[in-house]
């Protein structure tokens, strides 16, 4: 059975472990911070690889950014990674085969092969965190598109009328409504416009200082304003999911990321199934946690090499 050194390279930290082709961990997960300069990062990668190179068959990377169709380099700009990251040829880092894939795609593959979506040949994995990431499985294959960049779910537009500015500086991206950041923006908007704020436990707070966590706490305290904010946020989330379900007719949608713990999957499933024109979908929570990127990259790498 093949052994893969799997490395998940994010803007803040790098985690890595040796995994077998079934996605099982053969070593503990190690963690280090991401250096700020490309030379330091390249050296760090080489150092990690040299530590394991003799005992493994493949090196796999899950990375931020869009990856080329050959799975050898990052092609998009990656603002959270060191400058020059997208000129790094990963295949030169090791004498063993090196495989690179986008982290959201890796996480999707992990859920499909070893997590919540096993057997669901058509499934969409959505990461609801600070932003929105996505990986899409179509008929048992990762949807990659002409250049490897498919699955940019967060950049769908859902509310062309509302003119909300996204962190990407575009208007009305799905991410600007249905992410954690979106919840905070909705909280601010509703504080400025709804009478529910006047009797809220947050009425003395500056609207722009209300956080995602305030709203989640407010729900537990049965605060009407927090409930209104959360419902608007959830409706925006559902709006995008309805579109995706009508387009893909998937067996399931798997929700991962920090916001996943706050949603009622059964309620969302029922609402979606009452509105779609395709056959019913299951809404599930992800199972692979923080290791999803490593697992997915390892299993995908074995498929290629």
Based on the shown chain and the rule CB under 8 A, indicate whether residue 243 belongs to the binding site for a second copy. yes
Pick from 56, 128, 150, 191 the residue near a second copy by CB under 8 A.
Answer: 150
Ramachandran angles phi, psi of 215, nearest 5°: -65, -40
Stretch that binds a second copy, among 13-21, 26-34, 83-91, 153-161 (CB under 8 A): 153-161
Distances (CA, A) of 134 to 2, 89, 145: 28, 24, 13
**Distance of closest approach, residue 160 Cβ to a second copy, in angstroms:** 4
Nearer to a second copy, 27 or 147 (CB): 147
Report yes or no: 62 and 106 within 8 Å, Cβ to Cβ. Answer: yes
Based on the shown chain and the rule CB under 8 A, indicate whether residue 263 belongs to the binding site for a second copy. no
Based on the shown chain and the rule CB under 8 A, indicate whether residue 151 belongs to the binding site for a second copy. yes
Ordered DSSP codes for 185-226: HHHHHHHHH-GGGGGSTTTTS-GGG--HHHHHHHHHTT-HHH
Stretch that binds a second copy, among 14-22, 35-43, 78-86, 273-281 (CB under 8 A): 273-281
- 255 forms beta bridges with 126, 285
Based on the shown chain and the rule CB under 8 A, indicate whether residue 159 belongs to the binding site for a second copy. yes
Report yes or no: 159 and 172 within 8 Å, Cβ to Cβ. Answer: yes
Nearer to a second copy, 192 or 247 (CB): 247
Euclidean distance between CA atoms 136 and 115, whole angstroms: 14
> What's the residue count for the chain?
305
**Distance of closest approach, residue 50 Cβ to a second copy, in angstroms:** 35
Based on the shown chain and the rule CB under 8 A, indicate whether residue 152 belongs to the binding site for a second copy. yes
Pick from 2, 46, 149, 227 the residue near a second copy by CB under 8 A.
Answer: 149
Interacting positions 3-62 with a second copy (CB under 8 A)? none
**Distance of closest approach, residue 273 Cβ to a second copy, in angstroms:** 13
Distances (CA, A) of 153 to 63, 79, 87, 178: 17, 19, 25, 11
Q: What number of other Cβ atoms are within 10 A of residue 3's Cβ?
A: 18
Based on the shown chain and the rule CB under 8 A, indicate whether residue 160 belongs to the binding site for a second copy. yes
Euclidean distance between CA atoms 92 and 81, whole angstroms: 19
Pick from 25, 35, 57, 76 the residue near a second copy by CB under 8 A.
Answer: 76
Token readout for 273 is 């199934």
Pick from 67, 136, 255, 300 the residue near a second copy by CB under 8 A.
Answer: 136
Pick from 21, 276, 285, 287 the residue near a second copy by CB under 8 A.
Answer: 276
Nearer to a second copy, 223 or 251 (CB): 251
Stretch that binds a second copy, among 84-92, 237-245, 258-266, 296-304 (CB under 8 A): 237-245
The radius of gyration computed from the CA coordinates of the chain, to the nearest angstrom, equals 20
Rounded to the nearest 10°, the torsion over CA 183, 188, 193, 199 is: 90
**Distance of closest approach, residue 192 Cβ to a second copy, in angstroms:** 16
In sequence order, the 6+-apart residues with CB closer than 8 A to the CB of 123 are 108, 111, 112, 117, 136, 137, 250, 251, 252, 253, 254
Residues that bind a second copy (CB under 8 A): 66, 76, 121-122, 136, 138-139, 141, 143-153, 155-162, 168, 170, 172, 174, 235-236, 239-240, 242-244, 246-251, 275-279
């Amino acid at each position: 059975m093949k052994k893969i050194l799997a490395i998940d390279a994010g803007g803040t930290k790098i985690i890595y472990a040796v995994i077998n082709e079934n996605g099982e961990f053969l070593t503990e997960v190690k963690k280090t911070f991401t250096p700020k300069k490309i030379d330091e990062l390249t050296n760090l990668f080489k150092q990690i690889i040299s530590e394991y190179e003799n005992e493994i068959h493949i090196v796999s990377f899950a990375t931020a950014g869009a990856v080329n169709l050959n799975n050898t380099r990052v092609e998009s700009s990656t603002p959270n990674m060191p400058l020059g990251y997208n000129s790094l040829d990963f295949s030169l880092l090791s004498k063993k085969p090196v495989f690179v894939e986008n982290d959201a795609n890796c996480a999707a593959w992990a859920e499909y092969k070893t997590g919540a979506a096993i057997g669901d040949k058509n499934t969409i994995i959505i990461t609801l965190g600070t932003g929105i990431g996505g990986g899409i499985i179509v008929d048992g294959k990762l949807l990659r598109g002409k250049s490897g960049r498919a699955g940019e779910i967060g950049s769908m537009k859902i509310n062309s009328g509302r003119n909300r500015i996204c962190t990407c500086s575009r208007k009305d991206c799905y991410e600007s409504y249905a992410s954690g950041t979106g919840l905070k923006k909705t909280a601010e908007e509703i504080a400025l416009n709804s009478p529910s704020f006047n009797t809220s436990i947050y009425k003395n707070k500056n609207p722009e200082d209300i956080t995602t966590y305030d709203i989640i706490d407010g729900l537990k305290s049965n605060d009407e304003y927090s409930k209104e904010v959360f419902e608007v946020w959830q409706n925006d989330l559902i709006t995008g999911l309805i579109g995706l379900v009508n387009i893909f007719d998937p067996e399931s949608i798997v929700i991962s990321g920090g916001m996943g713990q706050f949603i009622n999957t059964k309620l969302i499933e029922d609402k979606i199934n009452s509105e779609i024109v395709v056959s019913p979908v299951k809404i599930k929570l992800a199972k692979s946690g923080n290791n999803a990127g490593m697992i997915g990259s390892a299993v995908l790498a074995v498929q290629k090499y």
